[in-house]
Amino acid sequence: MKKRKGSPSAAAEPTLLKSPESDRSSLSYEAVFVVIMIALIFILYWLWICITYRSGLLWIPDSPDQIGSYFARFWDFIKQGAIPSRFAIVVYLGWVVSHAFGQIYLSGKTVKGLPMRGQNGKQLKYTMNGWKAFWLMWIILFGFHQSRILPITVFYDLCGELMTVSFAFSSLLSLWLFLFPNDNSPTTRSISGFWFGRDLNPRFRGFDWKLFCEARPGLPLWAVLNVSTCVKQYETFGSVSSSMLLITFMQFWYVVDYFWNEEAILSTMDIMTDHFGFMLCFGDLAWVPFTYTIQTRFLCSMDSLHEASPLLLAASFIIFVVGFIVFRSSNSQKHNFRMNPSKHQKKGTFIETKSGSRLLISGWWGWVRHANYLGDIMMGWSWSLPTGYSTLLAYFYPIYFTILVLHREYRDNVHCQKKYGDDWTRYCKIVPYRLIPYVY
């Protein structure tokens, strides 16, 4: 929704707007968030319809006169394949509950987060057990699949129904956290407050909702949906295409990387500064797993196996590897700099600002201001290239994410200019490139 950061969840959420400090009571301002929420929900279902019933072809009204019949047909598609059965509800709630149990009961390293904003330096403790939970999940799923208790293809077959349940669950959770916050947030009970959230780090009896939703149900479901789609393609065509295997592998690696570097999420904007509301909740639980799997589900929806050329597959993989190296190494540098400031005292590696904080100007961060965004964009495009060029729909994620990142980069620059003033001007002279070295 996000998103970008030391974790994949940044590619995750649709965070096109951030809460301003004033004018929150404006009716027009509040109306914006109603429009955004309706648009995101519409896009979620529209993408699913295009993949499921149109084999990836874009579906829009042919003329203004057909808008009424278009939306009637839209609703028919939802009734046909996205109204959840009891079984789908049980599967999704079982999925969420099992991951919650994993976060609560699995052992793991206990670490402290960064000092919380406006909390007198308070640091929350987190148990990093996502790596164990992720692989335990696969062992359980393999057992269910082999015993036919829950074939892995169920996730593909029930995609529309699970999507609806995840949307409903994220909406209800957002509403609950909005109505019953557990800290004294200044956010009013408005539509924008529901969108952004009232709590910074909502916890219920020690259970951290933000950390949980950042990854546990959504990211593993992304990987599982891809594997489910691979198996479905094999059952349908008798083999799995090279394009399908490559996309699944690259995205699986991306998810695995998150859990291997799970601690890095603690120094990101999502955990440190963003309140937890519908924006993050919907993005983490519904947007990520059901829009990031468009590429593989499109390949499975085709009438025959699609095999990209070896050259295109090789180019896609090279772009992914380079993007991943840039993404991970730059995020690791930033995370280590924030979490261990005492280990970064060498002169010339950072700028000391008048506000008391420091700006990193070494490694990737001495070359370009947002190397992590650049790496994330490269990986996003590498996931769509193996699908070929038959439909623009397969490129929804990289197009959407590139626009999102450009907006975020612009917003970050404005925010930092206000926050650091002359120090930011000095920093920009030292690191002139904003996103792409020698280009932008």
As a whole number of angstroms, the distance between CA 440 and CA 382 comes to 21
Question: Helix, strand, coil % (nearest 5) of the chain?
Answer: 65, 5, 30
The answer as to whether 3 is a domain residue is no
Backbone dihedral region for residue 302 (phi beyond 0: left; psi -120 to 50: alpha; all else: beta)? beta
Boundary (domain end) residue, out of 307, 325, 347: 307
The answer as to whether 131 is a domain residue is yes
Contact of 228 with 154, CB cutoff 8 Å: yes
Number of domains composing the chain: 2
As a whole number of angstroms, the distance between CA 368 and CA 437 comes to 6
Same domain, 248 and 350: no
Q: How far is CA 397 from CA 47, 78, 134, 290, in A?
A: 11, 22, 24, 11
Residue at 246: amino acid letter? L
H-run or E-run covering 275: none
Same domain, 299 and 312: no
The answer as to whether 21 is a domain residue is yes
**304 phi and psi, to 5 degrees?**
-145, 170
Domain limits for position 49: 8-307
Contact of 7 with 164, CB cutoff 8 Å: no
For the record, the structure tokens of 244 come out as 């399908």
Same domain, 279 and 314: no
Cα of first residue to Cα of last residue in the chain, in angstroms, is 24
Same domain, 302 and 312: no
For the record, the structure tokens of 404 come out as 């999102």
Q: How far is CA 313 from CA 246, 375, 385, in A?
A: 8, 18, 8
The answer as to whether 240 is a domain residue is yes
Helix, strand, or coil (residue 109):
strand
Number of H helices, E strands in the chain: 18, 6
Count Cβ atoms below 10 Å from residue 406 Cβ, excluding itself: 15
Same domain, 278 and 222: yes
Count Cβ atoms below 10 Å from residue 76 Cβ, excluding itself: 12
The answer as to whether 48 is a domain residue is yes
Contact of 295 with 50, CB cutoff 8 Å: no
Same domain, 295 and 320: no
Q: What is the pLDDT of residue 344?
A: 61
Q: Which residues of 19-58 are buried (b: 16+ CB within 10 A; e: fewer)?
A: beeeebeeeebbeebeebbeebeeebbbbbbbbbbeebee
Boundary (domain end) residue, out of 249, 284, 307: 307
Residue 128's DSSP bridge partners are 109
Contact of 279 with 196, CB cutoff 8 Å: yes
Q: What is the pLDDT of residue 362?
A: 82
H-run or E-run covering 204: strand 203-204
Q: What is the pLDDT of residue 413?
A: 87
Same domain, 270 and 359: no
Contact of 220 with 255, CB cutoff 8 Å: yes
Give the contacts of 380 (CB within 8 A, at least 6 positions apart): 11, 397, 398, 401, 402
Sequence-ordered alpha helix ranges (H) in 148-287: 154-157, 159-179, 191-196, 209-215, 218-237, 242-260, 269-272, 278-282
Boundary (domain end) residue, out of 307, 332, 366: 307
Same domain, 152 and 295: yes
Same domain, 192 and 286: yes
The answer as to whether 2 is a domain residue is no
The answer as to whether 1 is a domain residue is no
H-run or E-run covering 43: helix 27-54
Same domain, 161 and 287: yes
Same domain, 93 and 172: yes
Candidates 188, 256, 252, 266; CA nearest to 224 is 252
Helix, strand, or coil (residue 117):
coil
As a whole number of angstroms, the distance between CA 182 and CA 199 comes to 7
pLDDT by residue, tens only, the chain of 440 residues:
444 444 444 444 454 444 444 444 577 888 889 999 999 999 999 999 999 999 888 999 988 888 999 999 999 999 999 999 999 999 999 999 999 999 999 998 998 887 776 666 678 899 999 999 999 999 999 999 999 999 999 999 999 999 999 999 999 999 999 988 876 665 566 888 899 888 888 888 889 999 999 888 999 999 999 999 999 999 999 999 999 999 999 999 999 999 999 988 888 878 878 888 999 999 999 999 999 999 999 999 998 888 899 999 999 999 999 999 999 999 888 888 877 766 666 665 787 788 777 888 888 888 888 889 999 999 999 999 999 998 999 999 999 999 989 988 888 888 888 888 888 888 888 888 888 888 87
Residue 109's DSSP bridge partners are 128
Could you give the dihedral angle defined by the CA atoms of residues 226, 99, 331 and 3, in that order, rounded to the nearest 10 degrees? Answer: 70
Q: What is the pLDDT of residue 24?
A: 47
Q: What is the pLDDT of residue 264?
A: 86
Q: What is the pLDDT of residue 5?
A: 43
| Helical pair 242-260 and 371-384, crossing angle rounded to 10 deg | 150
As a whole number of angstroms, the distance between CA 64 and CA 46 comes to 18
Give the contacts of 47 (CB within 8 A, at least 6 positions apart): 290, 291, 294, 393, 396
Q: What is the pLDDT of residue 188?
A: 63
The answer as to whether 30 is a domain residue is yes
Same domain, 13 and 132: yes
Only one residue has tokens 């007198």, namely 120
Please give the model's pTM, rounded to 2 decimal places: 0.88
